[in-house]
A and B are shown apart, each in its own frame.
Chain A
Amino acid sequence: MRQAKLNRRDFLAGTSAVVAGSAMLATAGGILIGPNAAWAIAPQAVTTAEAATLVEMTRALYPHEKLDDAIYAKVVATLDEKAAKDPAMKTMLQAGVAELKAGKWDDLNADAREAALKTIDTTPFFQTVRGECVTGIYNNPDVWKIYGYEGASAELGGYLHRGFDEITWPDQA
């Protein structure tokens, strides 16, 4: 993943605060840290609190119990990177998050979050975040491993001797 430069000075720069409604930690040094410091991102365009909400939004869009927040945080880091170069995108992301927050996002459970997102699914904000997820989540080899896709095979000699025809259950079905 895109591991932000998390050095001791940043980490100690200010008081840390737990982001409401999640186990993520936003430091005053501008770093968003995952549970047990498993991952961290240092958003440049949006605030750490906004980044935390975006992480939650990407999970609500494509909820996978087996996927760690780190996968979603990577998508948010990419969005933030684009926003750092594009003021209009930054404004859009921040306004979008503000709208979610206004809808009591932090208090909603997973189903209610999906329902809340449904009400904004035609907005450019929604489509931008969703579009980034499609490649950001599913083009990640860490995700492939979890859901049983083996990726490149040519250098391993293909599947001719590695199970291309191994299943037998259809014959008995």
Chain B
Amino acid sequence: MASKFELNDSSVVVVVGSGAGGGTVANELAQKGVNVVVLEAGARHEIEDFVNDEWGSFSQISWLDKRTTSGSWRVAKDFAGLPAWIVKAVGGSTVHWAGASLRFQEHEFKTKTTYGELAGANLLDWPITLAEMEPFYDRAEDKMGVTGTHGIPRLPGNNNYKVLAAGAKKLGYTDFHTGNMAINSVPRDNRGSCQQIGFCFQGCKSGAKWSTLYTEIPKGEETGHLEVRPNSQVLQVQHNDKGLVTGVLYADKDGKQHVQKARVVCVAGNSIESPRLLLNSASAMFPDGLANSSGQVGKNYMRHMTGSVYAIFDKPVHMYRGTTMAGIVRDEAKLDTKRGFVGGYEMETLSLGIPFMAAFLDPGGWGKSFSSAMEGYDHMAGMWLVGEDMPQETNRITLHASEKDSYGLPIPNVHFDDHPNDVAMREHAFGRGSALYDAVGAKRTLRTPPYPSTHNLGTNRMSAEAKDGVVNKHGQTHDIKNLFVSDGSQFTTGGAENPTLTIVALAIRQAEFIADQMQKKEI
């Protein structure tokens, strides 16, 4: 397809990435009449291309470019070359996300104030409050069609949820339901309702689950103000001698390199690629990378405290039928330091098919104990535990000293060590998760260690003061006024909640700011 906008058109906003952050900010700008070019590293797979096949889909949509890992986290041992389980395709990780859309709690925007000093934790308050975010959360929920908000009915609970709910009740939990999901429970926004297919992680075949691939992006394209270029890997953000960005260098599907000029650049490549791009864009003027006067680019990498509990029962469950994340218990998400840690965690149903269960249940596991657990597959229920992890400066994305990608650029290394608070929270969560299933007669419970990270956060964090972070409250970099970060790497801290709703709300808010600043000729 011929380009809609010329490479030398320096009036456009270039957005790097088309996921929750990039796809949303691009459409929001296009709706306001701003011309936008989205450069997406991955291919454009439409709904009909998705496959109900875990490994087949994994090789179709995952980001599999080489990365290395270091640190004491178990992912570095189990999945040394795959620190993150995210998507390389138009729509980004909204193609494979489960759909959980939760607002942050008020105190989660001010963790330094609330939690106080915690050794080793690089805590910082967000420069925004829940009250400031609420109108944007409202708009994000409406845009995404989140169940349990705006009069949208909740989804029906599947088999896996029934087990979770029964156990939650037995334990005396009160805040549990089928979730706030960006999955249509009734037809809405020209998309049908959920058919309980399962395979939410493999790309929704019915389109009931919100993804920028078939919502924001085509809506933006319809305005005539948005062009998406798939298979376009951005290699460098370029700047002039005034220290303003002027465009990006990218490689197309044939490896041919181009420069797309830009008035504004929004980086939204997820929390590994976004800092990598800023670091790889180092120049004589910015020797430590763009927007890195604080030295915080790539630091404070967060991935949520995670773990899973699977339990085997006497009677069948068939947990894989229906939505992958079919319900939630929120009672443990609150702050209650009597549990021995700060922050909280969510308990959310999760299911994997037999192929992924074999890979993830106990990575490296084998023998009679492992295979007997697999034999209980259709009698198994499962939950994912996801909670706030502590930002640490030493958890970070760095450029590899020697390994290069096919364009000759250093690949990223992802270093992570659990903070003692993360470990204490995981132990508590494993205990409560197991107790929940025991309460409904589990024969056996299994504690599954973290999967490769799906919630990658914090590596270009938001801060009130330029010395503490990379971007301000609008996601605008402190150092370069026409360079923005539009993805989860902006997060100052992670909260207990799945991050997508907050990413979308921030993107809506950012688009307003960018359009306003452009109109005022500030950028």
Contact = CB atoms under 8 A, between A and B. Distances in A.
Contacts, number: 139
B195 A157 contact: yes
Question: Is the interface on chain B under 10, 10 to 19, 20 to 34, or 35 or more residues?
Answer: 35 or more
Interface stretch (A6-14, A19-27, A44-52, A139-147): A139-147
A118 B162 CA distance: 39
Contacts of A162: 321
B377 A147 contact: yes
A130 interface: yes
Interface string B74-99: 00000000000000000000000000
B173 interface: no
Interface string A115-158: 00110010000000010011101110001100111111111011
Given A148-B378, A165-B157, A165-B158, A158 B440 contact: no
Contact of B198 (A143, A153, A155): A153
Interface stretch (A57-65, A80-88, A89-97): A57-65
Question: Is the interface on chain A under 10, 10 to 19, 20 to 34, or 35 or more residues?
Answer: 35 or more
A163 B377 CA distance: 16
B518 interface: no
B403 to A, nearest CB: 22
B71 to A, nearest CB: 21
Given A144-B354, A164-B159, A135 B55 contact: yes
Interface stretch (B221-229, B302-310, B362-370): B362-370
B118 interface: no
A167 B195 contact: no
Given A62-B366, A114-B368, A147-B375, A153 B355 contact: no
Nearest to B439: A173
A164 B196 contact: yes
A154 B355 CA distance: 18
A61 to B, nearest CB: 5
Interface in A97-121: 110, 114, 117-118, 121
B394 interface: no
A170 B163 contact: yes
B371 A64 contact: yes
B484 interface: no
Contact of A134 (B198, B353, B359): B359
B52 interface: yes
Nearest to B442: A173
Given A134-B359, A159-B322, A165 B162 contact: yes
A152 B318 contact: no
Nearest to A162: B321
Contacts of A171: 162, 166
Interface in B180-213: 194-199, 205-206
Contacts of B159: 163-167
Helix, strand, loop or mixed for chain B's interface?
Answer: loop
A147 B357 CA distance: 12
B53 interface: yes
B318 A147 contact: no
A152 B199 CA distance: 8
B317 interface: yes
Interface in B345-402: 353-355, 357-359, 364, 366-368, 370-371, 374-375, 377-378
B410 interface: no
B368 A173 contact: no
Helix, strand, loop or mixed for chain A's interface?
Answer: loop
A162 B322 CA distance: 10
Given A61-B366, A63-B368, A149-B353, A134 B358 contact: yes
A139 B55 contact: yes
Given A135-B55, A164-B322, A171-B166, A147 B354 contact: yes
Nearest to B198: A153
Interface string A14-55: 000000000000000000000000000000000000000000
Nearest to B376: A147
B316 interface: yes
Contacts of B195: 154, 157-160
Nearest to A110: B368
Given A153-B199, A164-B322, A170-B165, A61 B367 contact: yes
A153 B196 CA distance: 9
Contact of B321 (A130, A135, A163, A173): A163
Contacts of B194: 158, 160
16 contacts: A61-B367, A118-B367, A135-B359, A138-B359, A139-B354, A147-B354, A153-B199, A155-B52, A160-B195, A163-B159, A163-B318, A169-B313, A170-B440, A171-B166, A173-B166, A173-B440
Given A114-B368, A162-B321, A173-B440, 7 more contacts: A63-B368, A117-B367, A138-B357, A150-B320, A164-B158, A167-B159, A167-B318
Closest 7 pairs (CB-CB, A-B): A148-B378, A158-B195, A138-B358, A152-B52, A158-B197, A164-B322, A170-B166
